[in-house]
Amino acid sequence: MKNLILIVFIFSFVSVFGQFSRERIETDSSTIEITRNSIYRIYEETYKNNDSVWYSVTYIDDTTKLHREGWSIIKHGERFGLGIWKEYNREGDLLYTRDYDKHTCVVNPEFYPYHDILEKMKLIADSLIIDAYGQEFMDKHVVFEFDCSAWSKYKTKYSWAEDSVWAENFLGSWIEPLKSKPDSFRLRYQVWLNPADKYSRYIELGIFLDEHGNYVAKDDTWTNLGFELVKPENKKFIIDKNQAIVIAKQNGLVETDTSKIDEFLFWEKFRTREYYNGQFRYYIIELIGQEHYQKNEKRQGIKYKYMVYVFNPWTGEFVEKKKMKSFREWSEASGHSTGLLSDDE
């Protein structure tokens, strides 16, 4: 029996979409959040000693009927699924089974029309990665986490445009049954520097395909797209963390009790609509300062300043030393953080 310490808040309102409430409970060992809306009751319990989270969703009008449940863990501010998760519909039919440890996701074909098209597009996207970096790299460093979305294109007329323009209608994803036959696809993969550390930081890379499986080059602000042109003899990450730190120290890195040192794989965008649209880099970053600022009466933030030591992960060579920055902003209702940005000040 848990020792309840404090109920932090219970918040509720009624909207046009129905009843919504959120309850937060603190115990000596965990934080519990229970969210209710017109369809689901969502139970999340985060255990403080190891950042593991138990997640369970039932139907609001019959909480004995399971919709989805499973374990996850929070590392570096991100949630990683653990083990096997299953999702069911209102009638209790199994929709899909997802194994986060084995990186598999099998859907029930009875409820997923056109899913064979997504499977075909995944094979094409897999082959593009293998062509660029090789099968060994694919097996060792790349994971497909079934983040696959599909759209259909159509022409529409907007008041601000003289002619009709192309727009897209979202149809579904790997675990959301497609509403109709799609003609545009986005598949997203995770690229890991060290696959043995399953909770280390990874790079998310996206691949866009048309209805025929042809690669579509895009310049997307929020997504890492495209491939790096790598020499045949260099298609393997050989960067050594310890050696890289030694070289970084030779170029000015200072390790003290007050400095924050971090290291991870990074994707540098070329921001062009080309097949080769970026490059992998290994970053060692040193926090060298931070500034608090007040944007307005209700919104404030912190600007973080870094010195970054950049290496080529394919060869282990030191490339450059440069300044970068990031921002974290928040208000009472919302907040956001940026990734690393160039700092030319």
Q: Residue 214 burial by CB count (10 A; 0-12/13-18/19+): exposed, middle or buried?
A: exposed
Residue 17: its pLDDT value, please?
Answer: 45
Residue 30 Cα distances to 33, 35, 77, 180, angstroms: 10, 16, 17, 43
Residue ranges of domains in the chain: 1-111
Q: Render each residue's pLDDT in the chain as its tens digit; 345 residues.
A: 344 444 444 444 444 445 788 899 999 899 999 999 989 999 999 998 888 999 999 999 888 999 999 999 888 777 888 899 999 999 999 999 999 988 999 999 999 999 999 999 999 999 999 999 999 999 999 999 898 999 998 878 776 767 777 788 999 999 999 999 999 999 999 999 987 776 678 899 999 999 999 999 987 777 889 999 999 999 999 999 899 999 999 999 987 655 578 899 999 999 889 999 999 999 999 999 999 999 888 899 999 999 999 999 999 999 999 999 999 999 877 888 888 888 876
What pLDDT does residue 163 have?
74
What average pLDDT does the chain have? 88
Q: How far apart are CA 325 and CA 290, in angstroms?
A: 9
